[in-house]
Amino acid sequence: METKNILIIAVIVVIIAILGVVFATGMLNGNNDNGNAETTPFKTEFMEGSFAGKVKLVDDKEKFMHSYKDKENKITYNVSTVDDSDALMDIYYLQGVMNPEKRTYNGNEWNIYFSQAVEGNDSNSDDDPMTIIICQSQGEKQGYLIYMIIDADSKINASLNTYGESYTDFVEPMLKSITLKESKNVPKIYEEFGLTKDQFNEQMDLIDQVKAGNQTAIQQVAG
């Protein structure tokens, strides 16, 4: 397979893997009207803060990726770090994840992206979509990512903007509570995609051309 297609396929795999946590952890239980009346603290090597609601850790097998679940509100949080989160968001750009809202909390600058997906990544599905909110902050030495995945059956208002309940009652309080920490041996973004540094740089050059509107690059990606 030509390397020009590796990232395009790999990013789809990453998104599917992230969404897979939702289905693997069985978020199909009933709701509670007071789900966000309490907060749950969390702490990792690279980040600490608190979630709105009653949230439990469901997966911490990977040192730099932790998954949490709010069963009552049917929300999954994936918290991770990588050396260059800006590059990762450039890759997500190819999947239509773009135009973030920008907010600053506790001196941390956050880019907040809103998107949707259906089970199985089938764009023709009649199922209601899940809402995905990605909070990304790039520090001097590493980047930080929080994926908030809201099930289609969640009772909360999961709007694709900063005015809905999902942001005002869940995302914003979380971001206001967060402390970002530098950590050692942060994963390299090119290694996460199974590429050499040179291969990854070639892919990023292609993405930069796509974002600039280069028709040849757009045709390469589409092909």
Question: Which domains does the chain show, CATH number per domain?
Answer: 3-222 (3.40.1000.10)
CB 16 within 8 A of CB 121: yes
Q: Burial level of 169, CB count in 10 A (0-12/13-18/19+)? A: middle
**Residue 3 confidence (pLDDT) above 90:** no
Question: If you average pLDDT over residues 33-58, what whole number do you get?
Answer: 87
C-alpha 62/C-alpha 130 separation (Å) is: 25
Does 35 have pLDDT greater than 70? no
Q: And the tokens for 10? A: 């790999």
pLDDT of residue 1: 47
Higher pLDDT, 114 or 118: 114
pTM for the model: 0.82
pLDDT at 75: 98
Sign of CA dihedral 88, 94, 97, 101: positive
Task: Supply angle C-alpha 4, 185, 135, rounded to 5.
Answer: 65
Confidence (pLDDT) at 126: 66
Orientation of helix 197-211 relative to helix 85-93, angle to 10°:
50
Per-residue pLDDT tens for 171-186? 999 999 999 999 999 9
